[in-house]
Structure 1
Amino acid sequence: MTNNLPIRPIQTTGRYLVLLPESDVRSGMSALTDFTGVRDTDMSVYSNLGVVVVSLDPDRLQSLNTAVAGDAPIIAAEPEQIMYAIGSSVSGEIVNYLQGYKDGVTNLADNLGNGNVALGEKVTPSIFTDGVATWGLQATNVVDSNYSGTGIKVAVLDTGLDLNHPDFAGRSITSQSFITGEEVQDLQGHGTHCIGTACGALNPPDPSSPMRYGIAHNAEIFVGKVLSNQGSGADEGILAGIDWAVTNGCQIISMSLGASASPGTPFSQIYEDIAQRALSQGTLIIAAAGNESNRPGVVNPVGRPANCPSIMAVAALDNQLGVSWYSNGSINPDGGAIDIAAPGGNAGQAPLPEIYSTWTTDLNAVQPPGALRYNSISGTSMATPHVAGIAALYAEATGKRGLELWALLMRDAQRLPLSSIDVGIGLVQAPI
């Protein structure tokens, strides 16, 4: 293992994301046309989120920046970036605004009370060996939960899903690809693994699976392929996937994807506003914090877009409830706080196990040695669907949505003897 995992350089596409007023997208588009000369037909418009993706030459970009700085109904513009699947193979003090935001969530959690949802007994690493379910499901009390995600829509935006996998037969699955020239079918494996954790079967029908690995086994699955079979995708596809999920009424969006953030890098205003708009419509976005650290010596900041205050950022834990060595932390003063932690495994450090879940069966896929229908890998990517699946259980149990659903996850998390810089509020726990 090297002394550090390098921060991946920012890669842009030459296009721009433009944020328009949520209440008046049409006026924003007209202003964009007036200032830049770009026609409506040359824009990709996601009206439910109030975002436009457009190509601009230097002169038109200067005109756009003038519009943003002036009184035009255009809120912000940012270069479009490339995002990546965050898996094991991919390599501070909060400012007053963020602290106020966290305090507000905490107060909301306190005011919600316990209602009819019982919080399970706190678990310890010594009991993660029942052999019936993965250690991640044991650590988060999923095995004792009376809920299954019935009636809840969970969108996983990733590399797609192996639609031929026997463990998903008979499930309610809605899918769409946002990658030009590629079907939803997952030829990479990352998306299938994440969906398996969030929404996999209660009793896997395949006899080769020795244990339960899935959480919200009755949830409706929405598969948005926003990353290619090579594991990468531009912002436009991800924004299109978020827009699609919100439009379809998904209560939870799980995104095990992102781009590295350097120390001192602020969060994206556009992703932040989109996440706020999604929350107001009852959709909670949960994203992986990133794997660029090399603990104990090197801790890198939470990546984009998980570093937005209105996106729930998930850190990874090993099966001793310690911070996984690669998991990023809350080190940027302007955005980038870890909110919660979940089982992510400890890649390459035996005997600490990784996260077991479904894998693509497609013969064209890149198959790790010995992998058939299942695989064990590690990362904050693997931690994120644990939180998403458990959020679906809370959504079913309480009817809460958006920010109130966020608050329930924070309220019932198991506090850990670790810094909030590393694990946020603590280990996510399922309702029972």
Structure 2
Amino acid sequence: MKDEHVILRLKRAISRDIYLGGAAVTGLQPLASELTVELDNLDKRRVSNIARSSDVIAFAPVMPMKLIEPLDVQDVAIPSAANVTWGIKAVGADQMSFTGNGIVVAVLDTGIDPAHAAFAGVELVQKDFTGEGDGDMHGHGTHCAGTIFGRNVNNTRIGVARGVTKALIGKVIGQNSGSSAGIVNAIQWASQNGAHVISMSLGIDFPGYVESLIDQGIPAALATSKALEAYRANVQLFEKMAQFIKVGSPFFQSTVLIAAAGNESRRDVNADFEIGVSPPAVSDGFISIAALGEDANGLFRIAPFSNTGAMISGPGVNVISARPGGGLTSMSGTSMATPHAAGVAALWAEKLRSSGNLNPLALTAKIIASGDSTNMEDGFDPFDVGTGMITAPKLIV
């Protein structure tokens, strides 16, 4: 039996020991360009051969990827006076002078509505990895992009990093979902095209993969076992891609990978109903984002749906942002917290760049250290929120 696999392969003879150790190699081209992402149908014999190939960094069965589906979606009326969304205030983006100017952000999602007023003046570089063509038939990608770098819409500030002038829009989720192969391809594309921040509000569809194997006539127990092995291999695949990008970053541009923790927890049903962070966010080299809401007293609390074990949190409940076709809509989810974090990451990248200190280690450290738990409700679990609410660099006057 053959299964479709995604294979990360080096184009030329760079020692895997050098790559895996992260050592500096004089004269290397950007390492993301040294990697090919291949698709191939492999049987057991060829899998064994691939595993022994000196030029193969990682490989894994292709698994379906899906959106971290938003909750509580509803249109928003036009406010009568100037307004700033609560998420912008919560991360402190309205109280500082950095705007994300000069920073390139990539949004790997359902595409974008490029004609929306929120993206006026932004150079949008679109690439379709689904075969459906550009555009956003879902609305999720447009909403996330609006939170990261959207301009004011209908008297409302929705964007964290409104000074971003170039964005890479990778359409990786279409009407028929997406795949881990498409995501890996898109990460490589974004890195090669200068992304400093890559935002992903998506995850592996493990139940869907098990179901597809059962539909092929594979017994349920064997299908579950195969899916678990594929899950493990895909986590490692994303880790290797992240590590590969990190090795090249000190010589070229700094790139951080930011991903949603997932919306599978159900604390509103049972306080112990908590699900761990889902891939790719759980992979080493990714910054995982949990979702926070705001109570009547202005204190932050973990959203009942937010998966546990994330590194840091962002505003993810009743988030107002751009809607395809114009206007605004409200959504909830770790999908909405992730673009807040990506926007703040762009602000930190600008600050570090202005002082000549922009590199992946420094940027990641600043992002994680910016978490603030002082405004959390009493009794919060640090494992739910990570370091706390992500915050922008302090005001410069």
SS at match of 1:48: helix
SS at match of 1:318: strand
Q: CA deviation at 1:304?
A: 1.0
Query: Over residues 196-222 of structure 1, what are the superposed CA-to-partner deviations in whole Å (9 max), with x where a residue is unaligned?
Result: 000111x33xxxx24211111121211
SS at match of 1:403: helix
1:375 aligns with 2:332: no
SS at match of 2:156: coil
1:222 aligns with 2:180: no
Question: Equivalent residue for 1:161?
Answer: 112
1:359 aligns with 2:323: yes
Which range is displaced more, 410-419 or 74-83? 410-419
1:308 aligns with 2:283: yes
Question: Equivalent residue for 1:97?
Answer: none
1:187 aligns with 2:187: no
AA matched with 2:180: D
AA matched with 2:301: G
AA matched with 1:144: Q
Question: Equivalent residue for 1:173?
Answer: 124
1:289 aligns with 2:261: yes
AA matched with 1:324: A
Question: Equivalent residue for 2:364?
Answer: 406
AA matched with 1:62: R
Query: Over residues 339-367 of structure 1, what are the superposed CA-to-partner deviations in whole Å (9 max), with x where a residue is unaligned?
Result: 1100001xxxxxxxx10000111xxxxxx
Q: Distance in 2 between matches of 1:47 and 1:141?
A: 34
SS at match of 2:243: helix
Query: Over residues 121-147 of structure 1, what are the superposed CA-to-partner deviations in whole Å (9 max), with x where a residue is unaligned?
Result: xxxxxxxxx972111111111110211
AA matched with 1:358: A
AA matched with 1:24: A
Question: Equivalent residue for 2:199?
Answer: 254
Q: Distance in 1 between matches of 2:12 and 2:149?
A: 34
Number of residue-to-residue matches in the alignment: 328
Q: Distance in 1 between matches of 2:49 and 2:177?
A: 32
Query: Over residues 4-46 of structure 1, what are the superposed CA-to-partner deviations in whole Å (9 max), with x where a residue is unaligned?
Result: xxxxxxxxx941022335863799xxxxxxxxxxxxxxxxxx9
- Long gaps (5+) in structure 2: 17-30, 73-80, 208-227
1:245 aligns with 2:190: yes
TM-score (norm 2): 0.76
**Is the Cα–Cα contact under 8 Å of residues 261 and 301 in structure 1 kept in the other structure?**
no
Residue number among 41, 47, 61 corresponding to 1:56 in the alignment: 41
Q: Distance in 1 between matches of 2:42 and 2:350?
A: 48
Question: Equivalent residue for 2:77?
Answer: none
Q: CA deviation at 1:329?
A: 1.0
1:377-396 matched pairs, under 5 angstroms: 377-396=331-350
**Is the Cα–Cα contact under 8 Å of residues 260 and 304 in structure 1 kept in the other structure?**
no
Q: CA deviation at 1:54?
A: 2.1
AA matched with 1:53: E
Q: CA deviation at 1:279?
A: 2.6
1:341 aligns with 2:341: no
SS at match of 1:322: strand
Change (3 A) 1:21 1:57: closer
Query: Over residues 288-346 of structure 1, what are the superposed CA-to-partner deviations in whole Å (9 max), with x where a residue is unaligned?
Result: 0100110123111111100112100000001131110111112xxxxxxx11100001x
SS at match of 2:59: strand
Question: Equivalent residue for 1:348?
Answer: none
Change (3 A) 1:261 1:234: closer
AA matched with 2:146: G
AA matched with 2:68: I
Residue number among 59, 70, 88 corresponding to 1:77 in the alignment: 59
SS at match of 1:428: coil
AA matched with 1:292: E
Q: Distance in 1 between matches of 2:181 and 2:383?
A: 31
**Is the Cα–Cα contact under 8 Å of residues 86 and 288 in structure 1 kept in the other structure?**
yes
Query: Over residues 60-111 of structure 1, what are the superposed CA-to-partner deviations in whole Å (9 max), with x where a residue is unaligned?
Result: x42222441x464334321111111112259xxxxxxxxxxxxxxxxxxxxx
SS at match of 2:137: coil
1:128-167 matched pairs, under 5 angstroms: 132-167=83-118
Q: CA deviation at 1:169?
A: 2.0
Q: CA deviation at 1:51?
A: 4.5
Q: Distance in 2 between matches of 1:231 and 1:401?
A: 37
1:6-85 matched pairs, under 5 angstroms: 14-21=3-10, 24=13, 48=33, 50-58=35-43, 61-68=44-51, 70=52, 72-85=54-67
SS at match of 1:192: helix
Q: CA deviation at 1:235?
A: 1.8
Q: CA deviation at 1:428?
A: 0.1
SS at match of 2:6: strand
Q: Distance in 1 between matches of 2:50 and 2:133?
A: 38
Question: Equivalent residue for 2:274?
Answer: 299
**Is the Cα–Cα contact under 8 Å of residues 146 and 322 in structure 2 kept in the other structure?**
yes
Higher share of residues assigned strand: 2
Change (3 A) 1:397 1:57: closer
1:421 aligns with 2:379: no
Q: CA deviation at 1:275?
A: 1.0
SS at match of 2:130: coil
Question: Equivalent residue for 2:180?
Answer: 235
**Is the Cα–Cα contact under 8 Å of residues 87 and 382 in structure 1 kept in the other structure?**
no
Question: Equivalent residue for 1:323?
Answer: 302
